[in-house]
Structure 1
Amino acid sequence: MSGGGNRRDTNLTATAAVATIAAGVAAGYALYRGVEWLLGSNESQENQPHQNHPHQQNQPNPYREQLRLPMIRRPQPITPHRFLRNQVIHVVNTVEQCQYSMKELKTHCDEYNVLGFDCEWNLEQESGRKSVALLQLASSRGLCVLIRLSELQYIPKELEAILEDASIIKVGVAPDGDAALLKNDYDGVRVASTLDLRFVAQEAKSSVMRKSSLAHMADEFLGVSLDKDPSIRCSNWEASTLTNAQIDYAATDAHVAIELFKYFAKKIDPTKKSEYIIENYFVNLIDEDFDYQNFEV
């Protein structure tokens, strides 16, 4: 009897040990799957546009079926400046993508009515240049939309509405020149309310020269070094797929433009919103060509 009892006790102990190990393995696997799902969920969300309202979550996302390239968030920017850490890039190749991105961009403009504005095109020996291939718009919240006009071949109405909206200020260096090119290349589209950043720098009492480039002001006032490698600047902007270097170059130019405006606006009056700054300091300089000789430094 005692021998049988010992065997039963041993069997029970072994069974309990196996059950304990099995439970531990199951719990560990469940934890692993949970962490894997969480990381996958975060990665997926990082490559989706911001959702501003709960009801928008069911809206079809035209970027969903594409590779990671058309939508990029840089957790570690090329430069140390803090604003690039929040940069999100939409590369627009289709009308559906344009509609989606313009809706989000308009929401950002309702909060801060200024956009960084720039264009890229290919050079041509005979005519000097081809039609504008890429239009860049950047919001104060770090959304940079790169619209591939060479793919679209026209200006979708959602984009046209933002370009022609006089209440949305488009800032850059010589933005009126880019606006003229768009008008010439795309059926007379009007880019309303351009503002040269050199006007804003001059009002903020920041040193500026007539030939000050965006790169010069970015370095002097933001501490950001822009890569102006000719192999990128003069690259093929009509290529079937833009390289990461081209995307970085184009998005950062537009993003730096809006950040320069924000920097100068704070120097002019840190207590006022962008609408007040525009209305009280620059209303007569909208759509004007900057002429350094007419201004004191």
Structure 2
Amino acid sequence: MDTIPMSLCNLLIDRKVVKVGVGIKKDCEYLEECDLPTKSALDLRFVAKLTGAKAQNLAEMYKAVVGGTLTKDLQLIRSDWEADTLTPKQVQYAADDAKAGIEIYKALSNKVSDVKVFEKYYDMDYVPRSHNDLGSVASDECCLQ
């Protein structure tokens, strides 16, 4: 793909749309390297800690929080994700991961609704170290702004 659809660019920078994942920092870094800034990114491990749930990988968190199963095929995980065209299996794998993240987020956010953390920190942006003027932040993170 030579160009990124404007609809995807707009989605990534829309602060009203929370982008969730486990270890989402790496995704944010990769997108930043491709000149695609990401606003409102949230690592689900942060929300899990607020609920007392053990922070873990996506498949384990999906099973513990939602009760579902994610298939993790090592051959598929190690396949060429930078190919010009993804295989149907890669597309399905990515869609399953995205759907699992959304389901986990919904389940965990219901558990922390009394905490009110999202009212105060609704603007969660990935801040690359080179653009970060907060000296107290030790590493590139999806930081609460």
Q: CA deviation at 1:248?
A: 2.5
Deviations for 1:71-113, whole angstroms, at most 9, x for unmatched residues?
xxxxxxxxxxxxxxxxxxxxxxxxxxxxxxxxxxxxxxxxxxx
Which aligned runs of 4 or more in structure 1 are off by greater than 4 angstroms?
none
Matched residue SS, 1:220 = helix
Q: CA deviation at 1:236?
A: 3.1
CA distance in 2, matches of 1:163, 1:189: 7
| Residues 1:278 and 2:125 are matched in the alignment | no
Q: Which residue of 2 aligns with 1:289?
A: 141
Q: If each structure's strand is expressed as a fraction of its own residues, which one has the higher value?
A: 1
Deviations for 1:139-175, whole angstroms, at most 9, x for unmatched residues?
xxxxxxxxxxxxx223222211111112221110121
TM-score (norm 2): 0.74
Percent identity, please. Answer: 31
Q: Which residue of 2 aligns with 1:266?
A: 110
Q: Could you tell me which of 28, 34, 39 is aligned with 1:192?
A: 39
- Alpha-carbon distance change, 154 to 258 in structure 1, aligned in 2, over 3 angstroms: same
TM-score (norm 1): 0.39
Q: Which residue of 1 aligns with 2:31?
A: 182
Query: Higher relative contact order at CA 8 Å, sep ≥6: structure 1 or structure 2?
Result: 2
Deviations for 1:168-195, whole angstroms, at most 9, x for unmatched residues?
21110121221111121x2x22111111
Q: Which residue of 1 aligns with 2:12?
A: 163
Does structure 2 retain, via aligned residues, the 8 Å contact 1:174–1:289? Answer: no
Q: Which residue of 1 aligns with 2:133?
A: none
Q: CA deviation at 1:204?
A: 1.8
Matched residue SS, 2:19 = strand
CA distance in 1, matches of 2:43, 2:105: 10
CA distance in 2, matches of 1:193, 1:240: 28
Does structure 1 retain, via aligned residues, the 8 Å contact 2:48–2:54? Answer: yes
For structure 1, list consecutive stretches of 5 or more residues without a partner in the other structure. Answer: 1-151, 271-275, 291-297
Does structure 2 retain, via aligned residues, the 8 Å contact 1:203–1:268? Answer: yes
Does structure 1 retain, via aligned residues, the 8 Å contact 2:20–2:105? Answer: yes
- Alpha-carbon distance change, 201 to 240 in structure 1, aligned in 2, over 3 angstroms: closer
Note the aligned Cα RMSD (angstroms): 2.6
CA distance in 2, matches of 1:228, 1:265: 25
Q: CA deviation at 1:239?
A: 6.3
Matched residue SS, 1:231 = helix
